[in-house]
Amino acid sequence: METYLVGGSVRDQLLGLAIKDRDWVVVGSSPEAMLSQSYQAVGKDFPVFLHPKTHEEYALARTERKTAPGYKGFTVHAAPDVTLEQDLERRDLTINAIAQAEDGTLIDPFNGRQDLKDKILRHVSPAFIEDPVRVLRIARFAARFDFTIADETKQLIQQMVQNKELDHLVPERVWQELTKALATNQPSLFFMALRDAGALATLFPEIDRLFGVPQVKKWHPEIDTGIHVMMVIDQAAKLSDNITVRFAALCHDLGKGTTPADILPHHYGHEERSVKLTKTLCQRLRVPKEIESLALNVAKYHTHVHLLFEMKPKTILKVIEALDAFRRPKRFEQYLLAAEADARGRPGYEDLDVPTVAAFRKYFKAVQAITAKQFVDQGLEGVAIAEALRKSRITAIKQLIADKP
């Protein structure tokens, strides 16, 4: 039996990146032989074992044959006669099909090292089209490494789109890959890679519709909404490592993709459409409720941040209350981060200090400090407490506005 380090661990090592997990492939062995050496069987769909000491994963060399639609429609053959090259050939990309022997020798039958140098994402074999998850994965790698998808691989992806292979993706897997893409330093590269390969309209139609739609004259007349949203999610990635904030930034302008032509380029009422489309997207991908909640709030109220200095104090308080900020102050801060990313998401404004965000944060801290206790201590009861609390908070906002230099 021979063991080889394979996949992402070899790739990341060659890129000079930290290796989080090491995966191994075993050639010339069998399940019985692995068990006899105290390996623990953990694989459900194919033979994978945990090393008795390191607990790293060791998979028997295998081949795969497509037998049904979707990413689970495969028949796996794992046997002692399966070679290392046969195992590497079933992998998705050349950069993931490099193995390292125990003595450090690299086995690279598909020129993955050259593609690493050239920053190219290229399929190993035509079998790439058999697994729709690979479309999401390759776009995620484009975002993670800032690599370009090879032209011939784009053609395969377009073939998969035409054959409706992507329709077999399950929501949970799409969401899983999306969250990984949003966690990269430049999430826009994920969506731009999908768009360039012709898959964005199938996977994320709400995002694809934004391209070519002009931005609101008042704020971003120089770019279309698709480019703006791409810049916004990259800004969100700089401001926060929280996926919740980044996803909310992605969804904030979805309604502009369905804005009727007769009200372009002003987008009146796009917030309601953004909320509706965000709900649709979240339901389709089965997005966790906590993440969906912020996305809906940002879609509905993000323009209130930009218009803060034009709003009345009572309206400002209504927005704070609608965002449930008193009970969830951390969520309010996430809302402000998404709004700040929105303001910075245009050419020349990437390092902008957003005064409305700073002011909104200041207004909230002031009203947050005013609690019902002081009115209870004054002997007020019931509705009178709520009335006094509200008036006091509005007065505090008025005072801050008046004090503004």
- Does the pLDDT at position 265 exceed 60? no
The answer to whether 144 touches 137, Cβ cutoff 8 Å, is no
Task: Show the domains of the chain with their CATH numbers.
Answer: 1-117 (3.30.460.10), 204-369 (1.10.3210), 370-405 (no CATH)
CA dihedral 253, 257, 262, 265 (to 10 degrees): 50
The whole-angstrom separation of Cα 24 and Cα 9 is: 9
The whole-angstrom separation of Cα 234 and Cα 137 is: 19
Residue predicted with more confidence, 220 or 9: 9
- Does the pLDDT at position 74 exceed 90? no
Over the chain, what is the mean pLDDT?
Answer: 90
Residue 66: its H or E element? strand 62-66
The answer to whether 153 touches 198, Cβ cutoff 8 Å, is no
pLDDT digits (tens, 9 = 90+) for 302-345: 999 999 999 999 999 999 999 999 999 999 999 999 999 999 99
Strand partners, 224: 214
The answer to whether 157 touches 194, Cβ cutoff 8 Å, is no
The answer to whether 82 touches 63, Cβ cutoff 8 Å, is yes
Confidence (pTM): 0.89
**Cis-peptide into 329, omega within 30 deg:** no
β 74-78/99-100 pair status: unpaired
Tell me the CA end-to-end span of the chain in Å, nearest whole number: 77
Closest by CA to 62, choosing from 94, 36, 29, is 29
Residue predicted with more confidence, 87 or 270: 87
Amino acid making up residue 319? V
β 57-60/99-100 pair status: unpaired
The SS3 call for residue 14 is helix
